[in-house]
Amino acid sequence: MKQLIFGIIAISLFLSCNNNRPADAKEEKQAKNVSIENKLDSLNTLLIAEKIVYDVKVKISSDDDDWTKECLANTNPPVLANIIFGAIYDSRLQAFDYYTNQEMSINEVKDFEKEWERDKIGKIQFMENWYFDETNLHFYKKVYGIMLAYERYNEDGSVKNYKAGIKVIL
């Protein structure tokens, strides 16, 4: 009887340890996102905003803008940009053209970077879902996409507006 029980336990452990990993990075990412969504659901969170999109200024465009300097004192957008472009070039992230929503090849991204240098990134657009845990009074955001926006300048060198750049879906 002990051998039968031991055998059942051994088989159960073997089957539970089976390497049923997703076939590719995209499936793995989707499985991870579902896991995060399930975790948020298990926390009894309320979906407050689905697919909310907003811009965040990440570069100080004027030396006399003390408020923006204070707000951005602890940010490092170039690190994020380098990670995103590195992941694109390593084929871990897919770049999309913001205007057409078409996938961009690595060569198209390289061509884009020739014209729009990373140090000109002045805004980041976030695509998120927002959740609120009413019981514990916690707020959660799940970023599912990012778009990098580049500064465009007036003749006097001041920022005129921003050009939408590379978009990635996380």
Tell me the residue range of the domain where 157 lies.
25-169
Instruction: Tell me if 151 is assigned to some domain.
Output: yes
Instruction: Tell me if 139 is assigned to some domain.
Output: yes
Greater model confidence, 70 or 24? 70
Q: Count CB atoms within 10 A of the CB of residue 87.
A: 15
Strands 121-133, 45-57: pairing is: antiparallel
68 HSE (CA, 13 A, CB side)? 12
Instruction: Tell me if 19 is assigned to some domain.
Output: no
Residue 37 has pLDDT above 90, yes or no: no
Instruction: Tell me if 8 is assigned to some domain.
Output: no
Instruction: Tell me if 38 is assigned to some domain.
Output: yes
* Average pLDDT estimate for 31-36: 60
pLDDT tens across 108-134, in order? Answer: 999 999 999 999 999 999 999 999 999
> Which has the closest alpha carbon to 123: 170, 52, 53, 48?
53
The pTM assigned to this predicted structure is 0.73
* Average pLDDT estimate for 81-92: 97
Instruction: Tell me if 7 is assigned to some domain.
Output: no
